[in-house]
Chain A
């Protein structure tokens, strides 16, 4: 395997997201989008991680108004 691992990974809690899109415009590498299929408990199309390309910068975390909607992971040191 020579595929380089992404430096970061993202979890967006679909049920906590209010679909405001602030994370989407904040993301410098544009790896977040609105789900076109999911409608969450609150009636929004939640934001979702595109699945790759996250750098773990955290910009989306600090742009998101919902305390628990976004969790950012970073690649562990030994894995890099």
Chain B
């Protein structure tokens, strides 16, 4: 004659075996708002048939054990980090429904950064924020949402704006961002308020089902224990103390017009993957016969230095790349960091018949100096009988080292005459190749596109190489 109309939602476990003690009831205090919010979420999961694909992120705070109750996939997160954890799991499970459930200390204090940025990225999450103006689990300390004048164990004389500032209004903050789709504050203090809370929770979940963006529901909830009032009086407490400061309203609702989106579900073949991450399947085998190299130019330990922007680092990469293509062991080590940005730059290059131990070049056998400070600094550390290449366009002194071979070259001027002073490094590379024969010009031309990424500049760079080589051959008049 009577039919069940409302009963425990099926998205709850019938009993709570993960819990110790009485497994028939929750761990929440009598009258606590968490249980009510839980019930509304479970009811909505039932009605929307989402239980199977839902993942709940439990926070730290009174609701730390939310995973005791919900018969869904569960992840328990560190304090404040639920939105970041939710982001991680949602991104790899785009089809799942991910709920980040947090209290006020968790969300608005220690996790302030995580919630703001999850909201700002427009993560496709449903966030339920329980605001009860107090830290419940740790025993009634001040929350970021604790009201002015409210006494807690860490604001024993009442929250003082001069010491603790004002309570934080999260909906107002979140709705200042562009991305969130739906932001509403509801309250559990009255039957009407609770009806709105149920509706808001449902909407936040529906938005996620439809692939709409970030949905945020703040729930003003009672904490009779923390507030030291009876459960019925706690509802009055919400009404009289919280509602004037935390207006209950919809702050943002773009649910209807927001774009439904899910990441594209594409599978890539292994061959595609290799191609897309730029790992060519075919190997460029080293040429059978390397050019013959004079003894003094073999196994060079190269130091290249100049102003940032002179192509110093790129020249080093080019030498290492070409050396590798000729079948040598190679290494390239840059000076890195702020000095790259506008200061001086240098790099260490080794090209060797044998495996390279230290990639750092201390007694260089080749030194390339693009400017005066570089010559002054690095010629000193050269090994005897090394090769010193210096850019006479920018160096108006002679080297002091008489025990090394000099190769002066007006690289910047040659490059400038070719139409772009930035080709000076390739002029030097051409000169080095011509001088030492360590790599063939053929290899250099073949390898150039691996370090000169702009296709339209390849022709001119080859010309710069050839011009540098011609200079060494004495064919170039400056």
Contacts and interface: CB of A to CB of B under 8 A. Distances in A.
Interface residues of B, number: 37
Nearest to A71: B7
| Secondary structure call for the B interface | mixed
A29 B71 CA distance: 34
Residue from A20, A24, A28 having most chain B Cβ neighbours under 10 A: A20
Contacts of A25: 232, 235
Contacts of B24: 15-16, 68
Contacts, number: 104
B230 interface: yes
Nearest to A25: B232
Given A70-B6, A76-B2, A76-B3, A20 B30 contact: yes
Given A25-B235, A41-B22, A65 B5 contact: no
A75 B2 contact: yes
Contact of B5 (A20, A41, A44, A58): A58
Given A62-B36, A66-B35, A20 B224 contact: yes
A22 interface: yes
B4 interface: yes
B135 interface: no
Residue from A9, A26, A67 having most chain B Cβ neighbours under 10 A: A67
Interface string A32-69: 00000000011010000000000010110111111111
Interface string B177-214: 00000000000000100110010000000000000000
B6 A18 contact: no
Contacts of B42: 67
A-B pairs, top 8 by smallest CB distance, nearest first, are: A65-B35, A20-B31, A68-B8, A18-B30, A20-B30, A20-B231, A73-B2, A72-B6
10 contacts: A8-B2, A9-B2, A19-B30, A22-B231, A22-B232, A22-B235, A44-B30, A59-B191, A62-B191, A71-B7
